[in-house]
């Protein structure tokens, strides 16, 4: 059974077939659980609305660094309100993005810090986005005292990965590890314990090889499993079993399937 730790089924690219697709993932795609990561108040609320329709679909509520300049006291209160719901299992997607720099870096940092504080108030784990901002992301998390979450689409070096694990974090890996130029993330997968890895698609983005360029969805997690299996030289079933256990351990508000 596959644990989808990070998707965006609120995205407009799913508008034409969203419900049919998600239903098929649960009934035919070997997908056991899906977490929909929020990027702002609207998408966080939409993810929670979707969670009402499927027992094993859950939401995360947060403001993405691209949307950091939309955060104010009111929007943060709304994220905290959404976090009170039993189907909201994390604060996220939060963090820093210096690749696009859509928002001023100081604004991003403030948004990130305040949401880490919110996570401490709620007791929920965090889902962290970090792109071209590895040191600042790590330093802010370390200063915050938050010790429970996942670094989504991990792209840093191995030592930092091990440092995150020492702090209590998991690492998320998706379609990028199947790309030809993905030497660094593959090296990290090789050198960190499987017990600290989560699988993700980031749907509709980052479809794995051999489907790169297509709209992504959670059925394609099987390609991530196959790549991790190849890197670690273990059976795919073992990768599924352990990453499923990891997801249920981290997102402990999820009610396991009986």
Parent domain of 184? 2-250
Cα separation, 133 vs 96, whole angstroms: 6
pLDDT value of position 101: 87
pLDDT value of position 73: 97
- The residues that bridge with 149 in the sheet, in sequence order, are 126, 169
Domain count, the chain: 1
Is residue 241 situated within a structural domain?
yes
CATH number (domain holding residue 14): 3.20.20.140
Is residue 257 situated within a structural domain?
no
* pLDDT of the chain, 258 residues: tens digit per residue: 999 999 999 999 999 999 999 999 999 879 999 999 999 999 999 999 999 999 999 999 999 999 999 999 999 999 999 999 999 999 999 999 999 989 999 999 999 999 999 999 999 999 999 999 999 999 999 999 999 999 999 999 999 999 999 999 999 999 999 999 999 999 999 999 999 999 999 999 999 999 999 999 999 999 999 999 999 999 999 999 999 999 999 999 999 987
Is residue 15 situated within a structural domain?
yes
Is residue 135 situated within a structural domain?
yes
Is residue 47 situated within a structural domain?
yes
pLDDT value of position 166: 98
């Amino acid at each position: 059974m596959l644990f989808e730790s990070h998707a965006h089924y609120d995205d407009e690219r799913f508008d034409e077939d969203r419900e049919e697709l998600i239903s098929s993932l649960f009934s035919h795609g070997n997908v056991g659980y899906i977490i929909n990561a929020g990027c702002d108040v609207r998408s966080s609320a939409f993810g929670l609305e979707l969670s009402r329709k499927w027992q094993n679909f859950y939401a995360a509520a947060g403001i993405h660094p691209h949307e950091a300049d939309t955060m104010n006291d009111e929007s943060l209160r709304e994220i905290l309100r959404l976090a009170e719901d039993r189907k909201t299992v994390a604060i996220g997607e939060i963090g820093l993005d210096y690749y696009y720099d859509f928002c001023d870096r100081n604004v991003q940092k403030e948004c990130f810090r305040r949401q880490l504080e919110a996570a401490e108030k709620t007791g929920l784990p965090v889902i962290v986005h970090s792109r071209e901002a590895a040191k600042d992301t790590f330093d802010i998390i370390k200063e915050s005292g938050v010790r429970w979450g996942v670094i989504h689409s991990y792209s840093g070096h191995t030592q930092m990965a091990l440092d995150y694990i020492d702090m209590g974090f998991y690492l998320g890996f998706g379609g990028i590890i199947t790309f030809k130029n993905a030497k660094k993330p593959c090296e990290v997968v090789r050198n960190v314990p499987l017990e600290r890895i989560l699988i993700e698609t980031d749907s509709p983005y980052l479809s794995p090889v051999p489907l790169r360029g297509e709209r992504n969805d959670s059925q394609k997690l099987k390609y991530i499993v196959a790549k991790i299996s190849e890197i670690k030289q273990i059976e795919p079933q073992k990768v599924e079993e352990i990453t499923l256990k990891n997801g249920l351990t981290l997102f402990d508000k999820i009610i396991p399937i009986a």
